[in-house]
């Protein structure tokens, strides 16, 4: 008998015969917020990130020039920006992204309760970009903001072609040395969410 | 050889200052958890729902695992099954060898700790780099993690400073956490970029979609898994959840319970390999089906490894992770370890004051204190209790079966103890008087007070 069969057989014999344990619904009554933008911004600030509201993509160009003066290598997966110095799809090897100072990526929607943004870019060739970049900017369409993870997961699906998606809530962080919070562990050291 | 919690706890507690610091550091995390839990009116409803989902899943575990496998395979993810730690380690080694991997980066996985994967791979010539900062610190010091979420919680920043001085050439005497974290970032970036393969654990495996979810704050799992061509994810059979939307419950509970954050920085849903790469999932039993078969302990398989029961436990906070001698310490370890080997870990169910804080805090409602109470009985029934404790229990039983004698003994104690000289009262034979004052003795017994109040003659 293969290990697969042995394990499944052992489970069949051992599992609790629990007739009343139906799978519950998950859309429970949950906390909502009066002002989603404010709640999101406060929560994100609490986890070390910041939220900005801008009018247009050209305003984003200006914002980047002003706030990321030292960023030499910039990769954007957002169309219509003019700050790119490197194309994500141009390289076969994600290791070549190790010098990226700023990555600008597309978020689908934001979650007010925890400062997270859902990202699932079918066209981004290398997911490594999200983690290897020194600083991260996520562009989210204005109004695309939900109260909680319950609402968030009603908007998420994984089709046959989808291979990766994630929530990012602020910059990477650690408190592994004496419980002291340090922003910037292995991933981005700054995370800015821009609503346009 | 059996393992003696009281002895090791005493060793840890002998450094009183360090013990108090450890206690405080963990209580700080517990308080942060409380703040998060109280911010949601639906907290208890979340716990109830999580409990129901996990309980349902365990009673249909084979079906969901098969569904997961089918959907994962359809996505091109390879699935492996391992009966025990040995088979798990062999599968991983074979995969690494077939890809000619010499150095791998690994994110936190209590399962691989349980299987002692690192030493196995190292024996076979593979360099394993733990990439979670806390895990890297203890790996460099050649120590196991002392907490499942905060692996280096037993260390002070000065300890980390001296470790990094030795291995990462940091400045002598510099123990600033930010400085040390930056040094580790630079050191580990080289490892990330140079790795031939990556390994991660699995927080949740979704039967419905055939994908897995990994939650981290540091981004180490994701950076590791997105660069090399080979990603191996290892999971126990109990990590499965039925539906994608079940994550709405678990992602709300996990980080809030673990560290008091609203969510982890990264909640990554892996449903396939990087371009031109391979993704493998290893599903491991290693004693879990044995627990599944025992109604009394089956709920311990609901655990999502948040560590909340460790942070809240008055014993764990004052005895440290190493006093448990098992890969998972604290209340959850104290039931999992004796389920694996009752004789070896007979003392762990007694590392508990039955305060029930763990049962009340657990986000998936594992009945931890209830299980430890039952485990104690297993230990006694199996005859593993030390003769001193066993005889004390026997004497107490004998006395309590004789009410008149019990009353007399109580009367004598109430009369005698207050007039005994301190030297005698606080001698080494009185464990209750160790490091603390005995309470003042009342004039009347409970029985007398009760009768007087109720007017019973």
* B406: its two tokens: 């019990």
Alpha-carbon gap, residue B343 to B299, rounded angstroms:
22
* B367: its two tokens: 């009945």
Residue located via tokens 């004039």:
B443
**Which residues face B212 on adjacent strands?**
B205, B270
Q: Say whether B56 and A21 touch across the interface (CB within 8 A).
A: yes
What is the rounded (10 degree) CA torsion for B205, B208, B209, B212? 0
Is residue B154 domain-shared with residue B262, that is, in the same domain? yes
* B394: its two tokens: 């026997």
Number of domains in chain B: 3
Contact assessment for residue B131 and residue B189, using Cβ atoms and an 8 Å cutoff: no
Contact assessment for residue A110 and residue A140, using Cβ atoms and an 8 Å cutoff: yes
Please report residues of B whose CB lies closer than 8 A to that of A47.
261-262, 265
pLDDT value of position A9: 98
DSSP A87-98: -GGG-S-GGGGG
Contact assessment for residue B161 and residue B170, using Cβ atoms and an 8 Å cutoff: yes
Is residue B151 domain-shared with residue B234, that is, in the same domain? yes
pLDDT value of position A19: 65
For B135, which residue in chain A has the nearest alpha carbon? A176
Interface of A with B in 49-88 (CB under 8 A): none
Alpha-carbon gap, residue B107 to B212, rounded angstroms:
14
Share of chain A above pLDDT 90, in %: 93
Is residue B278 domain-shared with residue B215, that is, in the same domain? yes
DSSP state of B215: E
B151 within a domain of the structure (yes/no)? yes
B393 within a domain of the structure (yes/no)? no
B158 within a domain of the structure (yes/no)? yes
**The residue count for chain B:** 457
What are the backbone angles phi and psi of residue A141, rounded to the nearest 5°? -65, 135
Domain ranges of chain A: 31-195
B330 backbone φψ class: left, alpha, beta (φ>0; ψ -120 to 50) = left
pLDDT value of position B433: 79
Alpha-carbon gap, residue B303 to B248, rounded angstroms:
17
CB atoms within 10 A of CB A142: 12
Nearest Cβ partner of A156 from B61, B244, B262? B244
Lowest mean pLDDT among A3-12, B25-34, B144-153, B431-440: B431-440
Is residue B6 domain-shared with residue B129, that is, in the same domain? no
pLDDT value of position A36: 98
Helix axes B247-258, B43-59, angle to 10 degrees: 120
Share of chain B above pLDDT 90, in %: 90
Instruction: Kindly list the strands in the beta sheet with A102-106, ordered across the sheet, starting from the edge strand earlier in the chain.
Output: A50-53, A190-195, A135-140, A102-106, A74-76
Q: In angstroms, how far is the first alpha carbon of chain A from the final one?
A: 58
Q: Say whether B133 and A95 touch across the interface (CB within 8 A).
A: no
Predicted confidence band of residue B1 (pLDDT cuts 50, 70, 90): low
How large is the ipTM?
A: 0.98
Model confidence at B389: pLDDT above 70: yes
Tens digit of each residue's pLDDT (9 = 90 or more) over B195-211: 999 999 999 999 999 99
CA distances from A3 to A6, A105, B95, B121, B286 (A): 5, 43, 17, 22, 11
Domain boundary among B289, B316, B337: B289
pLDDT value of position B431: 77
Domain boundary among B263, B289, B315: B289
Is residue B334 domain-shared with residue B241, that is, in the same domain? no
Alpha-carbon gap, residue B64 to B66, rounded angstroms:
5
CATH code, domain carrying B131: 3.40.50.10420
Is residue B35 domain-shared with residue B69, that is, in the same domain? no
Q: For A140-144, which contacts have Cβ atoms below 8 Å and span 24 or more sequence positions?
A: A140/A106, A140/A107, A140/A108, A140/A109, A140/A110, A140/A193, A140/A194, A140/A195, A140/A196, A141/A109, A141/A195, A141/A196, A142/A53, A142/A195, A142/A196, A144/A107, A144/A108, A144/A109, A144/A110, A144/A195
Pairing verdict, β B278-284 and B230-236: parallel
Distance from CA of B133 to the nearest CA of A (A): 6
B386 within a domain of the structure (yes/no)? no
Is residue B259 domain-shared with residue B222, that is, in the same domain? yes
Is residue B82 domain-shared with residue B190, that is, in the same domain? yes
Distance from CA of B349 to the nearest CA of A (A): 24
pLDDT value of position B428: 79
Measured in whole angstroms, the distance separating CA A121 from the mean position of its chain's CA atoms is 10
**3-state DSSP: chain A helix, strand, coil percent, rounded to 5?**
30, 20, 50
Q: Which residues constitute the domain of residue B433?
A: 402-454
Mean pLDDT for B160-178 is 97
Of B345, B315, B341, residue with least CA distance to B330: B315
pLDDT value of position B189: 97
Interface of A with B in 143-162 (CB under 8 A): 148-150, 152-154, 156-158, 160, 162
Domain boundary among B289, B318, B336: B289
Is residue B24 domain-shared with residue B123, that is, in the same domain? no
pLDDT value of position A111: 98
Tens digit of each residue's pLDDT (9 = 90 or more) over B269-278: 999 999 999 9
Lowest mean pLDDT among A87-91, B56-60, B318-322: A87-91
pLDDT value of position B386: 85
Model confidence at B177: pLDDT above 90: yes
- To probe the interface with B, which of A157, A174, A189, A193 has the most B CB atoms within 10 Å? A174
B380 within a domain of the structure (yes/no)? no
Is residue B285 domain-shared with residue B181, that is, in the same domain? yes
What is the rounded (10 degree) CA torsion for A93, A190, B174, B103? -20
CATH class of the domain comprising A31-195:
alpha beta
Tens digit of each residue's pLDDT (9 = 90 or more) over A59-83: 999 999 999 999 999 999 999 999 9
Is residue B20 domain-shared with residue B48, that is, in the same domain? no
Mean pLDDT for A118-131 is 95
Question: CA-based angle B276:B277:B283, to the nearest 5?
Answer: 150
What is the C-alpha R_g of chain A? 20
CB atoms within 10 A of CB B354: 12
Mean pLDDT for B166-187 is 97
- Mean confidence (pLDDT) of chain B: 95
pTM of the model: 0.94
Mean pLDDT for B427-448 is 84
B443 within a domain of the structure (yes/no)? yes
CA distances from B433 to B5, B354, B427, B430 (A): 20, 20, 8, 5
What are the backbone angles phi and psi of residue A30, rounded to the nearest 5°? -130, 165
- H/E element, B255: helix B247-258
- H/E element, A168: strand A164-168
B88 within a domain of the structure (yes/no)? yes
Is residue B172 domain-shared with residue B126, that is, in the same domain? yes
């Amino acid at each position: 008998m293969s290990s697969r069969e042995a394990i499944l057989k052992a489970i069949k014999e051992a599992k609790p015969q629990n007739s009343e344990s139906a799978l519950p619904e998950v859309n429970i009554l949950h906390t909502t917020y009066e002002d989603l933008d404010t709640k999101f911004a406060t929560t994100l600030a609490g986890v070390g990130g910041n939220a900005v509201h801008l009018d247009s993509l050209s305003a984003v160009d200006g914002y980047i020039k002003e706030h990321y003066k030292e960023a030499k290598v910039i990769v954007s997966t957002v169309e219509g920006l003019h700050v790119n110095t490197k194309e994500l799809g141009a390289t076969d090897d994600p290791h070549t992204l190790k010098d990226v100072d700023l990555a600008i990526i597309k978020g689908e929607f934001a979650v007010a309760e925890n400062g997270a943004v859902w990202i699932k870019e079918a066209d981004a060739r290398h997911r490594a970009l999200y983690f290897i970049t020194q600083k991260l900017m996520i562009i989210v369409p204005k109004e695309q903001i939900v109260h909680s993870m319950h609402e968030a997961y009603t908007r998420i699906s994984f089709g046959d072609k989808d291979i990766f998606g994630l929530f990012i809530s602020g910059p990477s962080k650690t408190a592994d040395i004496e419980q002291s919070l340090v922003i910037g562990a292995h991933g981005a050291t700054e995370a800015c969410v821009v609503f346009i | 050889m059996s393992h003696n919690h009281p002895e090791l706890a005493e060793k840890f507690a002998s450094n009183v200052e360090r013990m108090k610091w450890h206690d405080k550091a963990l209580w700080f995390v517990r308080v942060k958890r409380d703040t998060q839990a109280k911010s949601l009116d639906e907290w208890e409803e979340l716990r109830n729902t999580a409990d129901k989902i996990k309980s349902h899943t365990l009673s249909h575990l084979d079906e969901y695992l098969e569904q997961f496998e089918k959907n994962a395979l359809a996505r091109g993810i390879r699935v492996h099954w391992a009966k025990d730690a040995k088979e798990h380690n062999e599968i991983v080694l074979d995969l690494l060898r077939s890809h000619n991997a010499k150095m791998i980066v690994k994110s936190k996985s209590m399962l691989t700790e349980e299987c002692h994967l690192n030493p196995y791979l190292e024996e076979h010539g593979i360099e394993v780099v733990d990439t979670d900062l806390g895990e890297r610190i203890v790996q460099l010091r050649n120590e196991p993690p002392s907490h499942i979420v905060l692996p280096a919680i037993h260390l002070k920043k000065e300890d980390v400073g001296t470790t990094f001085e030795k291995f990462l050439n940091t400045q002598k005497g510099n123990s600033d956490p930010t400085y040390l974290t930056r040094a580790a970032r630079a050191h580990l970036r080289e490892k990330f970029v140079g790795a031939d393969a990556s390994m991660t654990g699995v927080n949740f495996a979704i039967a419905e979609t055939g994908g897995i979810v990994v939650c981290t704050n540091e981004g180490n799992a994701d950076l590791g898994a997105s660069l090399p061509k080979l990603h191996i994810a290892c999971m126990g059979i109990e990590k499965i959840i039925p539906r994608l939307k079940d994550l709405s419950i678990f992602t709300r509970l996990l980080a809030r319970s673990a560290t008091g954050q609203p969510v982890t920085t990264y909640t990554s849903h892996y449903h396939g390999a990087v371009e031109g790469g391979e993704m493998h999932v290893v599903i491991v039993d290693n004693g879990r089906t044995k627990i599944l078969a025992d109604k009394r302990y089956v709920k311990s398989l609901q655990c999502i490894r948040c560590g909340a029961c460790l942070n809240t436990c008055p014993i764990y906070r004052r005895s440290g992770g190493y006093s448990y001698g098992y890969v998972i310490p604290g209340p959850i370890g104290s039931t999992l370890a004796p389920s694996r080997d009752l004789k070896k870990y007979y003392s762990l169910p007694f590392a508990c004051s039955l305060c029930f804080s763990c049962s009340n805090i657990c986000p998936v409602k594992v009945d931890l204190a209830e299980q430890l109470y039952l485990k104690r009985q297993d230990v006694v029934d199996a005859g593993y209790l030390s003769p001193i404790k066993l005889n004390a229990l026997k004497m107490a039983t004998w006395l309590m079966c004789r009410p008149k004698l019990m009353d007399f003994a109580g009367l004598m104690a109430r009369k005698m103890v207050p007039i005994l000289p301190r030297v005698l009262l606080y001698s080494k034979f009185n464990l209750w008087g160790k490091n603390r004052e005995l309470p003042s003795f009342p004039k009347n017994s409970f029985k007398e007070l009760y009768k007087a109040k109720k007017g019973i003659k």
